[in-house]
Structure 1
Amino acid sequence: MSPLGSKARRERILYVATTTGLTSVEELSRRFGVTPSTIRRDLAKLTADGRLARTYGGAMALTAHPEASLRQRTGEAFEEKRAIARRAATEVRAGETVLLDAGSTVGALAHELRSAKELTVATTGLTALQELSDVETVHVECLGGTLRPLSQGFVGPLTEAALERMTFDRVFLGTDGISPEHGICEADLRQTRLKELMARRADHVYVLAHAAKLGRRPFHAWAKLPDGWTLVTDDGADPSIVAELRGRGVEVVLTEVPASTDPEHRTSPS
């Protein structure tokens, strides 16, 4: 596992606190392989930014699993998302028709596909549309519908009706959380229904999610995916969750995340 920069580590600390509600300095120190004093500095920074509340010996989430906007999520775990997107792009072949979900990690994949040749891309996400709108070698189809401002993605009956008219070689889905038992998690039932429909229309199903989302259950809406789907995540994934997913027939691809020399000053791709 590549060492995490302070910004990436703080984002994961925030995910842990949001998932469990309460966490300790000692637990976080063991989890991330850093000293307790380093964790205390991380918690102090997150508290000063108004993202966590300090407790005796640890911290707790300020709110119960709020849905972050796409703008907020774009900067989280940036290096992990970029590595996952680069690995996912290697699965796409010239001449294929692929379906891209909304979301920041799938949006990063769209950025990687700008150099693709002879490709057709259908998408439910504004980020993918913006990334590929000026690429002459990629034919883009927009699956319209009702726009969810938080996710910057289309949902609803119009989107579902458009899906019925196409099939795909591959679909790439985002998620707010992954459970080996329940599937993938979203804040909205319309999103989970749409993801299930998207998965049914493709020969190969991929979920793109950085390691902090594994085992995370922030909401109560779930999508069950067809057997044999593939998770592309980073090398910080919890080995026990990876083993359980593989035991349930999920192919898990672990992507190495390069260490950043300046983790505090990363910017997201356009």
Structure 2
Amino acid sequence: MAAARQDKDLPTRQQAILDLAHQGGFVATEQLVRHFGVTPQTIRRDINTLCDLKLLQRYHGGAGLPSSVENAPYADRQGQSPDAKQRIAALTAGLIPNYASLFINIGTTTEAVAKALVGHEGLRVVTNNINVAQILRENPSFEIILAGGTVRNRDGGIIGAAAIEFIRGFRLDYAVIGISGIDADGSLLDFDLREVQVARAIIDSSNHVLLGADESKFGRRAMVRLGDLSDVQSLITSAAPPAPFMPAITGAGIDLIYDDRSAAAALAEDG
């Protein structure tokens, strides 16, 4: 992905917003308000300016890069929203009992969940993520089963027909999955068709699907449709989703779980 434009004519905050968008592909208005300590109106003006310059594109709840065909580099995604991912990971791990069986798929959020699960006992984990396997092998009570297939060099994900066939040979209690974007109509979106095909097999082979998505994923565009919110049973996120997304979440009949500590902290500072 191209580096963020460095423009001497851009004010410092607008350049910082553009840099954040290039790191994660999407910036949420609420997140930027907390990050910069300014009003939502100020952030909206900054976003409008960047969109008028064709540097960003408006989406529900924020703005993102114009492209919907390429994800941010893996190293950049690892560093994006670490606090939010840790909150999602802790909430997700709390939903999984000891001695459960589960899938964990590709993604930096699912890797955070794996770290939060290391203190469990007796888990049986099937994964197509080399990084997840490395994290979970620290616990000798776990049985870790790694899917075969093509290893994607950039992030350690395992994809392809062999991985799909392998996963379809199981029926497990839980699936922990991530996603690149959630549309306001409830569509779950990602960038790589091969990754989506493996994730679809994981969903179809699980009794309870736990989707972890930080607030930046709401309204973020990606070109491949994985499915719909109705395909999952629980959505675990880092803050209350933007209002335009609530009808799709409610209509899907899923559990919405979040721990909005960041918003509480912002309110305390304002007080």
Note whether the superposition's TM-score is higher than 0.5: yes
Q: 2:55 aligns with which of 45, 54, 60?
A: 60
Higher mean C-alpha deviation, range 31-40 or range 62-71 = 31-40
Q: How does 1:18-167 map to 2 (within 5 A)?
A: 18=25, 34-35=38-39, 55=50, 60-61=55-56, 64-65=67-68, 66-167=70-171
Q: Give CA-to-partner distance per residue, 1:203-247, whole Å, 9 cap, x none.
A: 001111101101222x21011155452211011521331343112
Contact (CA 8 Å) 2:211, 2:232: kept in 1 or not? no
How far 1:63 moved relative to its partner?
A: 6.0
TM value normalised by structure 2:
0.74
Q: 2:223 aligns with which of 217, 220, 223?
A: 220
Local SS of the residue matching 2:151: strand
Aligned to 1:49: none
Change (3 A) 1:11 1:148: farther
Gaps of 5+ in 1: 1-5, 44-51, 262-270
Change (3 A) 1:17 1:146: closer
Instruction: Specify the code of the residue in structure 2 equivalent to 1:125.
Output: N
Contact (CA 8 Å) 1:182, 1:222: kept in 2 or not? no
Contact (CA 8 Å) 1:210, 1:234: kept in 2 or not? yes
For 1:137 and 1:16, locate their aligned partners in 2 and report how far apart those are by CA, in whole Å.
37
**How many residue pairs were aligned?**
237
For 1:201 and 1:76, locate their aligned partners in 2 and report how far apart those are by CA, in whole Å.
30
For 2:201 and 2:76, locate their aligned partners in 1 and report how far apart those are by CA, in whole Å.
27
Gaps of 5+ in 2: 1-12, 57-64, 266-271
For 2:42 and 2:80, locate their aligned partners in 1 and report how far apart those are by CA, in whole Å.
20
For 1:256 and 1:79, locate their aligned partners in 2 and report how far apart those are by CA, in whole Å.
11
Instruction: Specify the code of the residue in structure 2 equivalent to 1:103.
Output: G
TM value normalised by structure 1:
0.74
Higher mean C-alpha deviation, range 81-90 or range 186-195 = 186-195
For 2:113 and 2:34, locate their aligned partners in 1 and report how far apart those are by CA, in whole Å.
32
For 1:110 and 1:94, locate their aligned partners in 2 and report how far apart those are by CA, in whole Å.
14
Higher mean C-alpha deviation, range 240-249 or range 96-105 = 240-249
Q: Identity, % of aligned pairs? A: 23
For 1:246 and 1:259, locate their aligned partners in 2 and report how far apart those are by CA, in whole Å.
22
CA RMSD of aligned residues (A): 3.7
For 1:246 and 1:131, locate their aligned partners in 2 and report how far apart those are by CA, in whole Å.
34
How far 1:253 moved relative to its partner?
A: 1.1
Instruction: Specify the code of the residue in structure 1 equivalent to 2:197.
Output: R
How far 1:164 moved relative to its partner?
A: 2.0
Instruction: Specify the code of the residue in structure 2 equivalent to 1:209.
Output: A
Larger RCO of the pair (alpha carbons < 8 Å, separation 6+): 1
Aligned to 2:252: 248
